[in-house]
Structure 1
Amino acid sequence: MARQRIAYRSTPDYTQPLIEVPAKVRDRLFERLSFLYGSGKAKRYLPELERLLKVHCAHKVLATTAAEPSLEPGDRFSEKDLVLITYGDLIQGQGRSPLASLAQFLQQLPKFANVINTLHILPFFPYSSDRGFSITDFHVVDPKLGSWQDITALGSQYQLMFDGVFNHVSAQSLAFQEMLNGNPLYRDVFTTYTSPGELTLEQRQMILRPRTSDILTQYHSINGPVWVWTTFSPDQIDLNYRNPHVLLGVVETLLLYVRRGANIIRLDAVTYLWDEPGTTGANLAQTHEVIKLLRDVLSVADPTVSLITETNIPHADNIAYFGDGTDEAHMVYNFALPPLVLYTFYQQDATALTNWAKTLTYPSATTTFFNILDTHDGIGLMGVKDILPAAEIQFLLQQARDQGAFISYRTSEKGQKEPYEINTTWFSALSLDSSPEDLSFQVKRYVASRSLALVLRGVPGIYLHGLMGSQNDVDTVLRTQSKRDINRQIIRQVDIIKAIADPQSKLSHLMQQLGRLLEIRVRQPAFHPNGAQRILALGPEVFAVLRISPDCTQHILTLTNVTACACRLEISLAELGITGLHPTELAPASSSDEPIICAIPDDSHWYDLVGRRGWRATQQKLAIALEPYDVVWLVPFVELEQAIESG
């Protein structure tokens, strides 16, 4: 069920006291506006920003506002959080809007219905291209999908993640058309030139982009030809954040999404937010400052709403969007994880993944990763650009191609074409459509790969086609000429229900194996995003993580065999550092590189939550036999007893 949200009126009530922006927040907002536009403009536009906040808060029901629960920063996310990512119309039902069909469909998945608590519905607004990411109107639900009432209904059952596609608008949007019509109110809403030469060749070569098309697109306006900045496509016109009115318009939209039920707001491709000739146009200080300002706005508007940044860039740049741990994104996409997991299973060697995972740090207890594998776009490669050697990335690409994947490209820092993402479903990336392997074996390998995103510290997210184990849709790619359409096929609800009823179907196997893993995962406090983790190097065949609950009452030793061969491990319990003392005698785990490992009084007997079997340590060593692609989650038996006794 969704966490309780603040109630909002459909219209503001000005008979109740207006909110006053706290002085500290007001000062921060002024500083941020000054950084972006100078102190003169900051003084001019700060009152308007405050007005937007007062209007927003006037929509709140006074009694609900007074009773608003205080949020513990470290409990913004929990082990119960599991995000399903989907387009609003991926499920095709009968007699209902697509959004209503999605709601009904999710309740018909026996193993998944009770574990998914958050829905990320990819842009559900009217659009002209890019499968929803070229928006014509940010304020209404696409009537082809449903209505705001459908969104509200989903929000009564799930937490909701909305997309803030704030980089650009559709060329068919009112704002862009009014600019072409010469309306002076829209003159500086976009970055425009009267000649393509105004953006010099040298400046163009500096710009980093996720595409290979020209940065400028020509349109015809009332005043003649105009060239506009288009980072993503000719139909996606960049907003000009150097104009303060653009930022204020985005804040107004952000607040609308909060009132409409967003628990999390995803800042789509925010890397490229601020267009600045003479720079790379990516990861600019101004971009980070805008994100910090949006977080300050939310701290007043609704502090329970979280920001997540979607930045498919090298890992070091990606984690910079945490800021100092208190002032920027609450959650960051863990883009290095998908290609590293795929590489691990192609090589059948966990060494690279283990070494990288050991480096993961968190700037504060209020930040965490969004651990995804597949997405609606594919498997991004930028996250491992500075982690895997070039030869190993080429190995990854070749293996994916051999499995039937496509590769998309971008323009590199040197102006050259380079691989940007692998376009495939996750199931097809691991199993050929014509594979002679037994289906249950394919599913076991698939679930083993998915388990890695479940055991690492963070909030797991699963794309709908990943949940269903869908295979590549090459026919649609051939029809649309868009490589990303390989994993965006429409699913008929009746076909899913039929497959669930067939015990021999792939989906039925997935329901049992993946469904059970998810059910276990959301019940274990050791998987709380603020729980400590220790990455263990037990051998190349195994990815091993020790997770500890924030209160030190639960330890889970997770072991995943990443190979098609059986293996045997001998684990020294002394090296785990969890013997001898009662958990209350040690401090809770910290967020440092070397977490404090809370000890347990008896560690000789362990229980595998996944395999439902016991293991016994002898002479302070735990000997574990793993079959191919086994997933084992071991808990000290004494902790199971303590959990039962405590209720």
Structure 2
Amino acid sequence: MSKQDFPKRKAYSLTPDYTRPLLKLSSAQRQQLLGRLTFLYGKSAATQHLPELERLLKVHDAHKTPEKKAQNGHFDPSDRFTQQDVALITYGDILLSDAASPLATLADFLESTSGLRGAFNTLHILPFFPYSSDRGFSITDFKAVDPNVGSWQDIESLSERYRLMFDGVFNHASSQSMPFQEMLNGNPNYQDFATTYHSPDELTPDQRAIIVRPRTSDILTQYQSIDGPIWVWTTFSPDQIDLNFTNPKVLLEVIDTLLLYVRRGADIIRLDAVTYLWEEPGTPCANLAQTHEVIRLFRDVLNIAAPQVALTTETNIPHEENITYFGNGYDEAQMVYNFALPPLVLYTFYQEDTTELSKWVNTLEYPSDAMTFFNILDTHDGIGLLGVKNILSEQQISFVIRCAREHGALVSYRTAEEGMEEPYEINSTWFSALNLDGEHEDLDLQVKRMVASRSIALVLRGIPGIYLHGLIGTHNNIETVLKTKVKRDINRTVIHYSDLRQELKNSEARVSQMITQLGRLLDIRVNNKAFHPNGDQKVFQLDPSIFALLRISPDCEQHILTLTNVTSRRCQISLPLEQLGVAGIYPQERSELPDPPEMLSARPIKPLCAIPQDNYWYDLMGQRGWRIVNNTLDVTLAAYDVAWLIPMIELERMIE
């Protein structure tokens, strides 16, 4: 979706207008909301709290301008995302300048850097609220902007030029937040804000043993309240107090915050660590049915209040559990983090073999055109390992960890079932994870390796997200980790903008090469509808050295064959046109496909989407042509080359 499709300028007034008719929920909407609340709290409590939920929706609706109301009525969910959607993931204060706020500096970087203008239409600004720890994820005030980052005016300015992803850090709050402090003070309005015990022994050893969490610290933290010591549920750290969603008032306060984010410019709400939203002793306290129901309720609320706003779930868990957050394709998240992709890509490049990656991509399913994957390689945290559990073997995962350690990476652990520790994530920048320090490789080759790895995330069906440090090719920052003792800080270096601009003036510098080459890939992607997230994709396993994926536009009018050499050597690949589904020689039955070389695609391309027969294909990336000989496309790729090939006849149509 382009920024022009749904302009947000003055979409909401800062104050509600009650002179216009109030929002009226339909009977079906009321029953659906009541059903969600009943599932969570029982019929009596649901009936009691439904009026407050309705009030929140009415207040939100009264903030809408007439233009915004008209806009909501013409929204088609299948058009929510397009090939133009590419997200930059960044902290609001990674780039610092003496001349402007960090958020304003970020905007200047994106708009003044050659190769980046138009490359990103979406910004995921990691929590920009006041916080006490965990680099923004222990929030003290959910409704304010950290003055060290910028202001709501900065956010509004960005929202006029980009789609914005806000973090909904709704699993927990800072121990210094007002609600928790008021709970300690005995304020009855904040009773049961958190899950508490009068003794740590109330949570039994058997109950503790089956709790699944992403940390190894104690699940309960002692605090002193007006009534004496209490032990508080803290999934992530002693400073991060889990919100007690068994209290309906907590849920309603979160929904109020969710709607505020929409009014402040959010197009996408990222539900941080939502896996652990609902605690129930005696269960793993992860991926519970109540958690899914809360997400469905959020979806219902947004469908009523802001249908153009999407939910994204950040659930760093095994892939088969992760995709359950799509629900039935229409009732939970519109976008799910594709956490299996980063470790699979690392494994692919460490082994110089695409077999496992190709097999996995072929299994990906898309329940509807209203949902898709968020295809990331690196994030502000680390390279999660749980996503490939049951995809890669334990030996293969250990191999990835060993190779990453050789590249200077650190490893973080979590508490699994039965209280056992297991590797949770690799802490490293993406550049260092791929490129070994001390190796006497040309920088050109290291940059090519980086770009080749990124191309895989760019061609897969979904929305690509690129972390700022992955965009500019930052090395591991061990020095900061030694100071802070926080492993994730290896990939959170703060950069002075003037230093970055100076580097960008040198065309031979790493950052210049990274932005130039990635910028070319991004420019091609956003301008070709074959990469639309609702378009089809077909995997071909013709040579383990090359990842071969055919992308097809939703209208079947454009086909782009993407080839990525994942090795440090020159490779050649031969693709029989009948396997590609070229018109005129398309095999009508699966059994007619020749045996070798193997085609991994589960089904041949539908005749409706057959590629027009053409003796000439053009490489959009390499800007060179390849001729068909004997009904076979032979392509030679140098080390870490990327080729995006389109039939010349389709290229000519684009020109016309």
Aligned residue type for 1:328: E
Q: Deviation digits for residues 510-561 of structure 1, max 9, x if unmatched? A: 1221111111111110000000001111111011100000011100000101
Q: Which residue of 2 aligns with 1:571?
A: 575
In the alignment, which of 320, 332, 337 is matched to residue 333 of structure 1?
337
User: CA separation in 2, counterparts of 1:5 and 1:245?
Assistant: 33
* AA aligned opposite 2:654: A
**1:453 aligned partner:** 457
Query: Which residue does the alignment assign to 2:37?
Result: 33
Question: Does 2:647 correspond to 1:636?
Answer: yes
Question: Is the CA contact (8 Å cut-off) linking 1:537 and 1:544 kept in structure 2?
Answer: yes
The CA distance in 1 between the partners of 2:273 and 2:67, in whole Å, is 38
Give how far 1:156 is off.
Answer: 1.0
Structure 1 residue 87, shift from structure 2 partner: 0.3
1:58-137 aligned within 5 A: 58-68=62-72, 70-137=74-141
- State how far apart, in whole Å, the 2-side matches of 1:511 and 1:178 are: 48
For residues 498 and 185 of structure 1, what CA distance do their matches in structure 2 show?
54
- What is the aligned partner in structure 1 of residue 497 from structure 2? 493
> Corresponding residue for 1:238?
242
Distance 1:381 1:593 in 2: 30
Displacement of 1:100 after TM fit?
A: 1.3
TM-score scaled by length of structure 2: 0.95
For 1:605, the aligned partner's letter is Y
Offset of residue 61 of structure 1: 1.1
Which residue of the other structure, out of 606, 631, 637, is the alignment partner of 1:596? 606
- Aligned pair count reads 637
For 1:259 and 1:379, locate their aligned partners in 2 and report how far apart those are by CA, in whole Å.
Answer: 33
* Secondary structure in 2 matching 1:48: helix
Check conservation: 2:199, 2:231, Cα contact below 8 A: yes
SS at match of 1:617: strand
CA distance in 2, matches of 1:500, 1:66: 44
CA contact (8 A) 1:533 1:595 kept: no
Question: Match for residue 588 of structure 1?
Answer: none
Match of 2:595 in 1: none
**8 Å Cα contact 1:229-1:238 kept in structure 2:** yes
| Structure 1 residues 449-487: Cα deviation after superposition (integer angstroms, max 9, x where no partner) | 110000100000000000010000000000000000001
1:396 to 395, 400, 409: 400
Query: Aligned to 1:16, what secondary structure does the other structure show?
Result: coil
**Cα distance between partner residues in 1 of 2:289 and 2:267:** 26
Q: Which runs of 5+ in 2 are unaligned?
A: 587-600
Mapping of residues 29-428 of structure 1, within 5 Å: 29-68=33-72, 70-428=74-432
1:587 aligned residue: none
Q: Aligned partners of 1:281 and 1:251: how far apart in 2? A: 22
Supply the distance in 1 between the matched residues of 2:166 and 2:53 (Cα, whole angstroms).
22
- The secondary structure found in structure 1 opposite 2:418 is coil
Alignment TM-score, normalising by the size of structure 1: 0.97
1:64 Cα deviation after fit: 3.5
SS in 1 for 2:363: coil
For the Cα contact (< 8 Å) 1:350–1:543, is it kept in 2?
A: yes
Deviations 1:15-38 (A, max 9, x none): 001111232222111111110011
C-alpha separation in 2, matches of 1:529 and 1:393: 29
| 1:615 matches 2:616 | no
Contact 2:7–2:160, Cα closer than 8 Å, also in 1 = no
Maintained 8 Å contact 1:117/1:158: yes
In 2, the alpha carbon distance for the partners of 1:505 and 1:601 equals: 42
For 1:534, the aligned partner's letter is: K
- The reply on whether 1:606 has 2:610 as its aligned counterpart is no
1-structure distance, mates of 2:253, 2:395: 45
Describe the shift of the 1:138–1:599 C-alpha distance in structure 2 as closer, same or farther (beyond 3 A): same
Counterpart secondary structure, 1:357: helix
Q: Is the 8 A contact 1:361 1:593 kept in 2?
A: no
The C-alpha deviation readout for 1:166-201, integer Å capped at 9, x for no partner, is: 000000001111111111111211100001111111
User: Deviations along 1:381-419, whole A, 9 cap, x unmatched?
Assistant: 000011111011111000000000000000111211110
**Are the aligned partners of 1:448 and 1:561 in contact in 2 as well (CA < 8 Å)?**
yes
Label 1:526 to 1:63 Cα distance change in 2 as closer, same or farther (>3 A).
closer
Q: What percent of counterpart residues are identical? A: 62
Displacement of 1:95 = 2.1
Secondary structure of 1:418's counterpart equals strand
Structure 2 residue matching 1:107: 3-state secondary structure = helix
After superposition, where does 1:469-618 map in structure 2 within 5 Å? Answer: 469-580=473-584, 596=606, 598-618=609-629
**Quick check: 1:433–1:471 contact (8 Å CA) kept in 2?**
no
Check 1:317–1:415 CA distance in 2 against 1; reply closer, same or farther (3 A cut). Answer: same
Write the letter of the residue equivalent to 1:248: L
1:242-262 Cα shifts (integer Å, max 9, x gaps): 010010000000000000000
- The Cα shift of 1:508 comes to 1.6
Moved more, 19-28 or 339-348: 19-28
The 3 A distance-change label for structure 1 pair 397 and 600 is closer
Residue type at the aligned position of 2:640: Y
Contact between 2:577 and 2:585, CA under 8 Å: does it hold in 1? no
